[in-house]
Structure 1
Amino acid sequence: MSMTESPDAGTLRRVSAVAGSEQRDALRDAIDADEALTLTAISSRFANLVVDPGFPGDVVVLAEEPGRTMLAHARTGVAAGALVVVHADVDTTLRRALEGLGAAIVPLGEPAEAVAEQVAAVRRPTRRRTTSWTDEPAERRPRLSPGERRALTHYVQGLTTVQVAAEMGVGYETAKTFLRRVRAKYAAVDRPAGRRAELINRAEEDGLL
């Protein structure tokens, strides 16, 4: 296909995806059927997807409810270095924002096979944008470990540190250390995160809510 930017010969394009139960099986089958693609992670919740070792891969597929949360998730995928494909019906405002990130959009009425085709065809934009944290230099985006990212995700959803520890299956001091490191890493790139409200803002900007 003329619009396709195929992976190098012999290289599979790695795909991670968030999709509801109604779409998940069809999407998995469509990706598996394409010899150029391999599914590295799939989940019904983005918060779970981002802590999976298979995230982000080369392309992140967002088959979820459209809105601000979807846009935040797209920003996270871009910040992680992936291309983004959206499978949803989006309004004009959201479409412009997503396209500004370089995301490809497949209408909800299109089958999973069309999504897989777009995953194989999506190309990285050549024009630089300056509208979000995802366009900041790499040093402006803290590099969180999987444990730190998971602790942050639980914490900004309203859990106490004790509850975060329980969810993660670690001790209280370990969870506390994860959160302390998260705050320190954000502070190191001049993004305040000392208070819970500030940490929630950072998480929203980075697509973790």
Structure 2
Amino acid sequence: MSVVAQGALATALRDAIDADASLRLTAVVPWFTDLVTEAAFPGDVVVLAEEPGNALFAHAQTAVAAGALVVVHADVGPALQEVLGQAGVAIVPLEESAAAVVERISRLRPGRRHSHRLLGDGASRRPRLSRSEQRALAHYVQGSTTVQVAAEMGVGYETAKTFLRRVRAKYAAVDRAAGKRAQLMQRAEEDGIL
């Protein structure tokens, strides 16, 4: 897990994450550009405690595209909140504590904390896919190429590719292989997406 924050907020987030034994902090940096150069980038979770705006949105998109779950700890306006939500980014308002950020991370990572203790078959460990991720998965496993998925969803190629990358990452996070189309087909059938 990586954190982009400065000053007292960086310290508070570091302390809250360190207090949770199920989380492992790999980097705390003041600037996103510093994080990108870290060997551990993106890690499984990226916390962005930056000023709201275009740069924050771009950083969140980059981390999501790299396969990380992203939590923004900032006061974002409605427009930015909407586009971040569509990108699958969780938002924790700045008025909430660093402990609230850790709680959100714990909820976002359902299969990671106790994945070795889960019982039953793979279908009992379902990742939380966004509607867009479910749609992309459904089109893809029915034989569409990524280009066709993009056209059917009315999004760009890179966006469709990102949706499918996130689907694979979320299944991997709950220890359910989904690297190949056949595995994705099996997961979609098990989870009732088809």
TM-score category, normalised to shorter length: 0.5 to 0.7
Residue number in structure 2 paired with 1:28: 14
Aligned 1:1-209 pairs, distance under 5 A:
15-122=1-108, 124-128=128-132, 135-137=159-161
CA contact (8 A) 1:85 1:103 kept: yes
Q: Which runs of 5+ in 1 are unaligned?
A: 1-14, 142-209
| Greater relative CO, 1 or 2 (CA 8 Å, sep 6+) | 1
Listed one character per residue, the Cα deviations across residues 90-138 of structure 1 (whole Å, up to 9, x for unaligned) are: 1000000000011111110111111111111126533226656752427
Q: Which runs of 5+ in 2 are unaligned?
A: 110-127, 134-152, 166-194
CA contact (8 A) 2:49 2:73 kept: yes
Residue number in structure 2 paired with 1:159: none
What is the Cα deviation at residue 21 of structure 1? 1.2
What is the Cα deviation at residue 22 of structure 1? 2.0
Q: Which amino acid aligns with 2:18?
A: D
Root mean square deviation of aligned Cα: 2.0
Taking the aligned partners of 1:107 and 1:23, their CA distance within structure 2 comes to: 13
CA contact (8 A) 2:71 2:91 kept: yes
Listed one character per residue, the Cα deviations across residues 35-73 of structure 1 (whole Å, up to 9, x for unaligned) are: 111111110000011110122111110001001110000
Q: What TM-score, normalized by structure 2, do the two folds share?
A: 0.60
CA contact (8 A) 1:78 1:84 kept: yes
Residue number in structure 2 paired with 1:170: none
Note closer, same or farther for the CA distance 1:61–1:132 as it changes in structure 2 (3 Å cut). farther
Residue number in structure 2 paired with 1:11: none
Taking the aligned partners of 1:46 and 1:79, their CA distance within structure 2 comes to: 15
Paired residue total: 125
Taking the aligned partners of 2:51 and 2:26, their CA distance within structure 1 comes to: 22
Note closer, same or farther for the CA distance 1:26–1:116 as it changes in structure 2 (3 Å cut). same
Taking the aligned partners of 1:90 and 1:133, their CA distance within structure 2 comes to: 27
Listed one character per residue, the Cα deviations across residues 140-183 of structure 1 (whole Å, up to 9, x for unaligned) are: x9xxxxxxxxxxxxxxxxxxxxxxxxxxxxxxxxxxxxxxxxxx
What is the Cα deviation at residue 20 of structure 1? 1.1
Listed one character per residue, the Cα deviations across residues 171-206 of structure 1 (whole Å, up to 9, x for unaligned) are: xxxxxxxxxxxxxxxxxxxxxxxxxxxxxxxxxxxx
Flag as ranges the 4+ runs of structure 1 deviating above 4 A. Answer: 129-134
CA contact (8 A) 1:79 1:134 kept: no
Taking the aligned partners of 2:98 and 2:40, their CA distance within structure 1 comes to: 20
Taking the aligned partners of 1:40 and 1:51, their CA distance within structure 2 comes to: 13
Taking the aligned partners of 2:76 and 2:106, their CA distance within structure 1 comes to: 21
